[in-house]
Amino acid sequence: MKYTNILNGLLWVVFTTVSGYSQTAMTHIYGRNTISLNGEWAAITDPGLMGNYLRIWEERVPETKTDFVEYSFEGAPKLIVPSDFNWQYPELKFFEGYVWYQKNFSYQKNSAERLFLYFGAVNYLTDVYLNGVHIGSHEGGFTPFEFEITETVKDGSNSVIVKVDNRRQQNGLPGEGYDWLNCGGITRDVFLVKTPSGYIEDYSIQLAKGSYHTIEAWVKVNHPIPNQEVTVSIPELGITRMSAVSEEGIAWLEFRGDVDLWSPKNLKLYTVQIASEDDFLEEAIGFRTIKIKGKEIHLNGKPIFLRGVNIHEENPVRAARASTYADAELLLRSARELGCNFVKLVHYPHNEHIVRLAEKMGLMVWDEIPVYQHIAFSSEGMQEKLETVLTELISRDRNRCAVIFWCLFNETYTSTEKRSESLVELTRFCRTLDSTRLITSVLSNQGYQDNTFDVWDPLVEHCDVIAINEYLGWYLPFSGEPSEVKWKLNYPEKPLIITEFGGEAKYGSDFGPKDEAAWWSEEYQEKIYTDQIRMFNATANLSGVCPWTLFDYQSTSRLHPVFQGGYNRKGLLSEQGDKKKAWYIMKDYYGSKKQSYMYD
């Protein structure tokens, strides 16, 4: 037996149990026994941050004739969950402060059952109270977390209050500056989760690194019953394997499975069953291998070209966070129509609906943590924050065969104190959690002069592929023939992906000359795409490209009143889904790539 998974499993237990980060949510939430708390919640908006002083979580009501209380959930406006609050009332559009959410639920206690309160994501700092008792806090806007409430929940009616603080944090992830809208609130599903006392908390069931038929697995049982065994079955392959649970609650398995490999052209997922003494889960899991061979990326042993696109987690039509399955469909159908086989989910972990649907549609996925541009790497506790968010993401998505990349940062700067040490360490940490996927980061230490790109970031050595954002034709003009651009890469033997490129255009803009950037014309954007493709065709180790972005999206950084109006306009589609001229250029390019790479 190879020991990678054993090691990963052990490290997992050490990190999630011993280090005290015990809130990492149980995996495969959609396959569990849940009661939804989605829907309308009462909400108190608190721009002056008074709620702590008023102790809102106590839900006091006036008791005597001279008594008064300066808050009330009775009669308060409602907010829809899951969703950001920004679009729900005009005064919340750019709100950054506290919002207090409240909801009642009823529950009948059952001594054989444990109960958890699960949040798919809340942006950014969260405090949760149940019946007036503080049950836990969480930092981070894009990953799931949970609290056990078996002891706190009451028979009958219960009240849960969630304090959301979406103010930007200087030492947050992301930091204070970013090019999207700071959407606050309970943005993803909320569930009560009922489990048996010894429940299956987490598992990893994937092909061993580089293998086509050796399946390595580990299963973690929470509160293990002594001497129990765990069973993993794949009925379609006639596989049933058992393994004893260790004292730490982990069972390891390795077995041969002659699996039909998942790829964008073969959407094969198997029903995998996991059983412990008390618990049973079933999940559709696919198997594939992803690796680097010289300058190429190989899926299941064959070279692929990533026909990607950048996607923000926003339903452009509703101008709201993409929180639902229907939102995911809207985004991914457009990516498919463009001819993509790959989606780059930026700049933070997107919701599970998107990742799961991408897998079903044959789209490979780039998962990214919110380490964006200016991060306070030297601030106290930052390394733990980085490790926690990465752990939360990997814990959620490690069984998704569609996920081929963990991206650890986008454009951080070597001039930031402790940046490089911190990220080298994070990359090492990521490999200990999952060494089967490609690990990369979007490098930004680059220069362009005399029609030559120079990439010198020390992190390049630690990345499996070289990922570069470049905006030739927009922020920087081409200084020579696009087809003659040269690349000076420190590691020329690694594959290169252009992870962002493009320029702004307002759909239908017809105000001024078409060959000047200042008028946001579709023709100008189209020319950028034509030139970029000429450059791509002459770039030796190019393994994929991702236009920035699929749709125009909301951003507080885009201030031009006529052309932008609060939108980053680099979309190939307007926020209403209108196709800009550059869309067709990209679609043709992807059509030609499809023909030369038959496998994907």
Residues that bind ligand GCB (CB under 6 A): 179, 347, 410-411, 469, 500, 548, 568, 570
User: Helix, strand, coil % (nearest 5) of the chain?
Assistant: 20, 35, 45
- CB nearer ligand GCB, residue 32 or residue 312: 312
Sorted by sequence, the CB contacts under 8 Å of residue 160 that are 6+ apart come out as: 37, 102, 103, 104, 105, 117, 128, 129, 130
Distance CA 481, CA 477 (A): 11
- The least CB distance from residue 494 to ligand GCB, in Å, is 21
- The least CB distance from residue 528 to ligand GCB, in Å, is 12
- The least CB distance from residue 411 to ligand GCB, in Å, is 5
In angstroms, the Cα distances linking 87 to 84, 143, 202, 204, 576 are 7, 21, 35, 38, 16
- CB nearer ligand GCB, residue 209 or residue 374: 374
Q: How far apart are the first and last CA of the chain?
A: 31
- The least CB distance from residue 430 to ligand GCB, in Å, is 20
- The least CB distance from residue 444 to ligand GCB, in Å, is 8
Sorted by sequence, the CB contacts under 8 Å of residue 412 that are 6+ apart come out as: 371, 372, 373, 374, 375, 377, 419, 423, 441, 444
Helix (H/G/I), strand (E/B), else coil: 536: helix
CA angle, residues 73, 78, 84, in degrees to nearest 5? 120
Token pair, residue 2, equals 């190879």
- The least CB distance from residue 177 to ligand GCB, in Å, is 11
| HEC sequence for 166-190 | CCCCCCCCCCCCCCCCCCCEECCCE
Q: How many CB atoms lie within 10 A of CB 383?
A: 17
- CB nearer ligand GCB, residue 129 or residue 372: 372
- CB nearer ligand GCB, residue 199 or residue 372: 372
Query: Are the C-beta atoms of residues 71 and 62 closer than 8 Å to each other?
Result: no
What's the CA dihedral at 520, 525, 531, 535 to 10 degrees?
110
- CB nearer ligand GCB, residue 205 or residue 354: 354
- CB nearer ligand GCB, residue 166 or residue 499: 499
Query: Are the C-beta atoms of residues 329 and 291 closer than 8 Å to each other?
Result: no
- CB nearer ligand GCB, residue 181 or residue 403: 181
- CB nearer ligand GCB, residue 102 or residue 469: 469
Nearest to 372 by CA among 151, 91, 173: 173
- The least CB distance from residue 574 to ligand GCB, in Å, is 15
Residue nearest to ligand GCB according to CB distances in the complex = 179
- The least CB distance from residue 587 to ligand GCB, in Å, is 21
- The least CB distance from residue 190 to ligand GCB, in Å, is 29
CA angle, residues 374, 365, 596, in degrees to nearest 5? 115
- CB nearer ligand GCB, residue 344 or residue 400: 344
Sign of CA dihedral 574, 182, 445, 307: negative
